[in-house]
Amino acid sequence: MSVIGSGGRVLPARPGDPKKVGPYRIIGRLGSGGMGTVHAALDPQGARVAVKVIHPAQAEDPEFRARFRREAALSSRVTGPCLIPLLAADPEAAAPWLATAYAPGPTLNQHLTAHGPLTGGGLYAFATGTVQALAAIHQAGVVHRDVKPQNVILTPAGPRVLDFGIAHAADGTSVTRTGVMTGTPGWISPEHYRTGTAGPAGDMFAWGALVAYAATGRFPFGTGAPDVVAYRVMSEAPDLDRLPETLREIVEKALAKDPDERPTAQEAAEKCAGLLAAQATQVLPALAGMEPTLVGDLIEAEWEMPTLDDPMWYVPRPSSRKRTVIAVITAAAVIGGIAGGTLAFPSKGGSAGRTTTARPTLPVSADPHPVSADPHPTSVAQTTGTPTARSVQDALASVPNPAYTRSDDETQPEPGEWATSTRAETSEEKAATQEIRDLAKAMLATKGWEKAIPEVSFNREAQTVVVTAGPIPQIPEDHQDMFRRVGEMAACTVNSRRLRDQPAVWPYGRFSVYWLYGEQGGDESVLGFGDAADGCTREIAGRWRGDHFGLATAGIPSSDKEEIRVADATVKSLYGAWDARAADAGLEPLGTGTVQLGFDPVEQAMYVWAHEDGYGPLGGRAQQSHLTDVVEKTGCEKLLAEANTNSGWRYTRYVVAMYWGNNGETQIIDSGSCLKD
């Protein structure tokens, strides 16, 4: 979770905050997020410390504790220059916690906003310090995976790289959940976009973008909707104008599209150290005799960063002498953030919808077991256009002897159902196969996975349509959840339609989605299953609602040109609408990249999400309500305008979500249909 906020000042403690955590005395708050609170603290010697304490709800979850334990273990492995050290941790405490040194200074984003690009020796010191930090991280067998301006603090002693909330061990131990694109658009490597690969070379790509941004104040691949930025990252050259020529060569290599062409962090560190030494020799003749190995001294010599005092740190010690602890630090940061809860496969799911002549209309998925519903729901627009669960059940109830007889059977698929299923034999089965494959292809194609069309088979005894994919190198295992949703959607749509139109003859109502790991059978795995007799519209109290699965799918970059065009225009309109409202309502302006947008083809929904650490322009409920209103009005206006001119446009629903802090904890704020009754 990020603890940068409120100008980096220490905030007063709140009722219920602990007085002491481990050996550390709590004197205030630095920030909070969906996973816990970061406290300002003093160690027994009076040194300033940032202590992250996990919320009780997460502490009760064994899986969450395991992830927190891995976070502490990864953080303890990483030591070196320009990093923030882990001081202590207790993952087994009733309220798990970890403590790090307190890092002074603004983030790179904050500094560039206030003072403009880095120049001269400071820029070379920044490049050297940050790549040295990555070299130390990689040497410890860890991949950072979220190198970005918000995760670099400019302390008086030099830059500091922080936040291992989605770090990944080289041995495969991860502290993030699967099914979600890790990292931040614009700071994600081309290979991560294409295959989900996130290795040391990906960190170096983000480092190259980071240095270019520090030197120019511009994002090297521009701004806009995530899909637009993703396209530029994968296909276009970065904007390196005004980058000093001496740095351009190493930065260009780091930003190579092919990860094999990028330098390692150690190689880049050696190159930058030489450039920094040359810069120091030119600017400070007295340093000309310094050994090149004294890079830390060079960084400090070339680095100029003012410090501001915070009176909240002047807290008396709890002793009879009442001594005062004095220091001058302005902002805080801690290593890491815990990733959100792991994704659980729902027991049912599916879809139903209509077709168009332009392309298959992608119906609305059905997940009768939504995950992590917003504990504070707000109003949601009425859903329209697809049959409710009740309509299919009613159709079967009116048939004396329906061909499908397992509508009340909620058991999981039995072992062997996949192996005993067969390819389509009847004309109806062959037609259903083609419809399922066409629907799946249309959905997968929006993410560039059109070659991953599933196979369809039928198990008459189990009355189940079986959808199978794999082994498919184009789809990383981390993204199998999208394929699960696509398979459920397509199979439920076709089954549901036939159960309504041909209840006396169509024998299939159940569906299963499998992933095949090998070329031969015996190594298949069930991703999901469901029953079309329950209907294919996922509703809560009669209203459609988005979920975290849809958010994860929307975060996968689109390859559909129409989606990219609409996304880019809609994001710009949302920013414009917010700015107009901010002037009237006294709201803070949204920073670049705060609000992002993507499409979920499975449920035909536009997802708009924002990153917030609790103290930004969207930290309060009132601000989030304004954002929801802007999305519902301005965003829906864009979607419906496109639908009116484009017969193949499928998106008429919206979802507003928040990512809290750097840990990726998500909350669905609002969702609904743009089509009003």
Q: Is 146 a catalytic residue?
A: yes
Q: Please state at what angle helix 200-216 crosses helix 265-283, rounded to 10 degrees.
A: 30
C-alpha 135/C-alpha 161 separation (Å) is: 11
Residue 101 has φ and ψ, to the nearest 5°, of -60, 150
Strand partners, 528: 513
Chain centre distance of CA 31: 20
C-alpha 183/C-alpha 265 separation (Å) is: 19
**Catalytic residue among 17, 43, 61, 146, which?**
146
In which element (H, E) is residue 459 found? Answer: strand 455-459
Upstream peptide bond of 471 is cis (omega within 30 degrees of 0): yes
C-alpha 371/C-alpha 555 separation (Å) is: 17
CB-based contacts of 385, cutoff 8 Å, min separation 6: 353, 354, 364, 652, 673, 675
Distances (CA, A) of 51 to 99, 325, 454, 533: 4, 18, 48, 51
CB-based contacts of 46, cutoff 8 Å, min separation 6: 317, 325
Report the candidate in 646, 611, 631 with the shortest Cα–Cα distance to residue 150. 611
Report the candidate in 672, 356, 639 with the shortest Cα–Cα distance to residue 544. 672
C-alpha 561/C-alpha 585 separation (Å) is: 36
Q: Which long-range contacts (CB under 8 A, 24 or more apart) does 87-96 make?
A: 87/43, 87/49, 88/22, 88/23, 90/22, 91/65, 92/65, 93/22, 94/59, 95/18, 95/21, 95/53, 95/54, 95/56, 95/59, 96/53, 96/54, 96/59, 96/65, 96/68
Catalytic positions, please? Answer: 146
